[in-house]
């Protein structure tokens, strides 16, 4: 399997450093340029399937790719970013000030702590593992348009790393990551 992961371009939430898991935000003009640059990096690829998170910041990108490659975009809810629940739309400082106990519990165990009205990172891992289980033993090429947290979870899962290592990958807006996965081994491509 070959996997081409694209992160959506910059949104106003990204620009203002606000947590935006399931909240829909439009791309900024800079974000649209980042998308164009990312798409240029995949021109010439032989793509079999395109999957996208249902949020409009990812669908914008996926639909452009779909039209360029004449492929249907398959929307999959499992590719959504972590649901930040009560932290949605807030900056880190606002979270720390408004939700002292919840933010402390989240910082102390960000992998397992389920944010009130939201998810834990383990919840995201479970849905991503389910998604990957459906595609990873094929000889197809997949484009997956999604979010930085989801890309981090995909990478740690396929590279057989601890989930905590997802922060070792810097995934900027508009970023493209290519990898192959064969017989239980994930290889990042340049």
**8 catalytic, yes or no?**
yes
Catalytic residue among 147, 153, 171, 175: 147
For residues 87 and 177, give the distance between their C-alpha atoms in angstroms, rounded to a whole number.
28
Catalytic residue among 8, 18, 57, 125: 8
List, in order, residues 6 or more apart from 81 with CB less than 8 Å away: 20, 21, 22, 53, 55, 124, 146, 147, 148, 149, 150
Active site residues: 8, 147
């Amino acid at each position: 399997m070959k996997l081409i992961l694209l992160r959506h371009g910059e949104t106003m939430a990204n620009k203002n450093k606000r947590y935006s898991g399931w909240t829909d935000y439009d791309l900024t003009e800079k974000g649209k340029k980042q998308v164009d640059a990312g798409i240029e990096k995949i021109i010439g690829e032989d793509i079999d399937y395109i999957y996208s998170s249902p949020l409009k910041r990812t669908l914008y990108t996926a639909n452009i790719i779909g039209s360029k490659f004449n492929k249907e975009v398959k929307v999959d809810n499992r590719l959504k970013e972590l649901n930040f629940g009560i932290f949605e739309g807030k900056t880190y400082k606002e979270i720390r000030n408004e939700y002292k106990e919840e933010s402390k519990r989240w910082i102390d165990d960000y992998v397992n702590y389920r944010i009130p009205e939201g998810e834990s990172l383990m919840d995201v891992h479970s849905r991503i593992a389910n998604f990957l289980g459906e595609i990873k033993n094929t000889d197809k090429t997949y484009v997956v348009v999604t979010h930085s947290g989801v890309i981090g979870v995909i990478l740690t899962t396929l590279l057989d790393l601890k989930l905590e290592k997802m922060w070792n990958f810097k995934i900027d807006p508009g970023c493209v990551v290519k990898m192959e996965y064969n017989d239980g081994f994930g290889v990042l491509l340049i």
